Amino acid sequence: MPAAEIAVAETSGPILIGVDAGTSVIKAVAFTPDGLPVAVTSVPNCWQKSAGGAAEQDLAATWAATARTLRAMADRVPDLSRRLAGIAVTGQGDGTWLVDAAGEPVGPAMLWLDARAGRIAGELRRGPADAARFAATGTGLAACQQGPQLAWLGRHQPERLAAAATAFHCKDWLYLRLTGRRATDPSEATLSFGDFRTRAYSATVLDALGLAPQRRLLPGIVDGTIEHAGLSADAARATGLPAGTPVVLGYIDIVCSALGAGLYDPDEGVGTSIVGSTGMHMRRVDGADRVALSSDRTGYTIAFPVPGTYAQMQSNLAATLNIDWVLDLIGGVLAAEGIRRDRADLLAGIDRLLETTAPGTLLFHPYIADGGERGPFVDVGASAAFFGLSVRHGHADLVRAVFEGLAFAARDCYAAMGPLPREVRMSGGAARSRVLRGMLAAALDAPVRVSTRAEAGAAGAAMIAAVCLGIHRDMEECAARWVRPHLGPPLAPDAGLVAAYRRLFPAYQEARRAMPPVWRRLATAEAERGGHA
């Protein structure tokens, strides 16, 4: 099995395995009790897109890939069966994974990428009951979520709902296969169908979604910090690991990633930005009464694996996808002249290129994704745009504007959640760019630290297991061992850049608030072109 690039520790002591089941790959990471990585294994996971916005994944194949990933760990870690203290599982969030009374799949999973429920989500958002739903969940409604997806299935595939006994998320399905137990965790349960204050399902939410009859599909809620189950005999045969091994159900992958990257800290003013294909910007809140709900009913309020603590998140749909686009644009121009440069080649020199440009000469809205934008506003028609172009701008200025657009998008997201963070822990592929880190620090006027923690999602899941199994007294002690040693030095914001971005950011917001009529006209024109094709 291929191993990720990860520094490993030589150890002969107990082992915790964190499983992170992503959309495209299943990873398992073995850790020491103090969070040092010992080994990593991974297996690709396939998914399919089809007409109408469908994005689906095979449940049985996902379980088989997970079992192979765990089985491969025995080849990487000496004497694993004797040393294994526990397994924890997290995975891609949202989506709908249906099983019948016998625990067998009822059709393929609808993924978080599935857009078929978009119209239903829009109808529900505009409906009179959505304010009450949002007040309970603290989470804006989107097509990726299980509520609108169940509603879509009820309209278009009612026979699947009739055959289903339980509606899972990805990690819940894997927990069923590992333990035989039907359960979900507090984070996914309440952001979809519950009240974040009580960490329980809410009849108000189910009624607002028109899903009261589907209450029968919702599994029990298990908090992995205090409860676990044993590896079943069937799962032991599939994975090659000892039956009865403690298995912990982690929280949603974004919470586990934030936990592994440093969101839990004695300083509540810490924020975490994961800047990958999408951008996820989170702040931690201690106490339900301190949660700041968006007036636009956007963002996520998610139970955190510490009592009385929540992660608030705003997520811009496209982050490094914007960088990919501008690099491909440059690469295409070069290719037309017979010069071949792939993304990796261009990216290697990007910081040097950006250092030759002046800040803030252009504005860019980084809404490049086909699905529009979801944070801190929801508009499926939103599209990317440059503002302020003139003949004096060259390609380097365009690239800089794209990078600055990501920094402004992060500030836009944080501003919708309350006070800006006093420090940001950054991870994801874009964290490798020192220039982008400096832009983010200036846009937020806060120091930025990079988390060097490898595989933060798997680490966060394993941290939950470490607390559950008594390896660490509580999450604060666990974070002190697992996370803080992996934080790099702070990059302080440049005062001049802070001032420049402070002047420019209001224009960024004003432009995006003015754009919806233009986006609607463009969408109408596109539909008309398609209609005449």
Q: Return the pLDDT at 96.
A: 97
* Predicted confidence pLDDT, tens digits, the chain (533 residues): 333 334 445 566 899 999 999 988 999 999 999 999 999 999 999 999 888 889 999 999 999 999 999 999 988 999 999 999 999 999 998 999 999 999 999 999 999 888 899 889 989 999 999 999 999 999 999 888 999 999 999 999 999 999 999 999 999 999 999 999 999 999 999 999 999 999 999 999 999 999 999 999 999 999 999 999 999 999 999 999 999 999 999 999 989 999 998 899 877 789 999 888 788 899 999 999 989 888 889 999 999 999 999 999 998 888 888 888 888 888 888 888 888 887 777 777 888 888 888 999 999 999 988 777 888 988 878 899 999 999 999 888 999 999 999 999 999 999 998 889 999 998 877 888 888 999 999 999 999 998 888 788 999 999 999 999 999 999 999 999 999 888 889 999 999 999 999 999 999 999 999 999 999 898 888 778 774 43
Cα gap 196→310, rounded to integer Å: 8
pLDDT at 533: 34
pLDDT at position 11, please? Answer: 65
Model pLDDT, residue 113: 82
pLDDT in tens, 441-468: 999 999 999 888 878 899 999 999 999 9
User: Alpha helices, DSSP H only, in 263-394?
Assistant: 320-336, 343-348, 350-354
Residue ranges and CATH numbers for the domains of the chain are: 1-93+169-179+223-262+453-485 (3.30.420.40), 94-168+186-221 (3.30.420.40), 266-450+494-526 (3.30.420.40)
Per-residue pLDDT, 307: 92
Report the pLDDT value the prediction gives residue 196, as an integer from 0 to 100.
95
Q: Which helix (H) or strand (E) holds 173?
A: helix 170-179
The secondary structure of residue 491, as a DSSP letter, is B
Under 8 Å CB-to-CB from 29, ≥6 apart: which residues? Answer: 6, 17, 18, 20, 37, 39, 40, 454, 455, 458, 459, 462
Q: Which residue in 300, 233, 370 sits closest to 94, CA to CA? A: 300
DSSP class of residue 437 equals H
Cβ-Cβ contacts under 8 Å for 531 (sequence gap 6 or more): none
The 10s digit of each residue's pLDDT in 10-26 is 566 899 999 999 988 99
For helices 395-415 and 320-336, angle between their N-to-C axes, nearest 10 degrees: 170
Whole-Å CA distances, 63 to 92, 186, 255, 298, 303: 14, 22, 22, 33, 26
Q: How much is the pTM? A: 0.87
Six-digit token string for 102:
């016998």
Question: Using CA atoms, how far apart are residues 316 and 275, in angstroms rounded to an integer?
Answer: 10
Q: Residue 9 has what pLDDT?
A: 52
Rounded to 5 degrees, φ, ψ at 201 are -65, 155
pLDDT tens string 287-306: 999 898 888 899 999 999 99
Can you tell me the distance from the alpha carbon of 279 to that of 501, in angstroms, rounded to the nearest whole number? 19
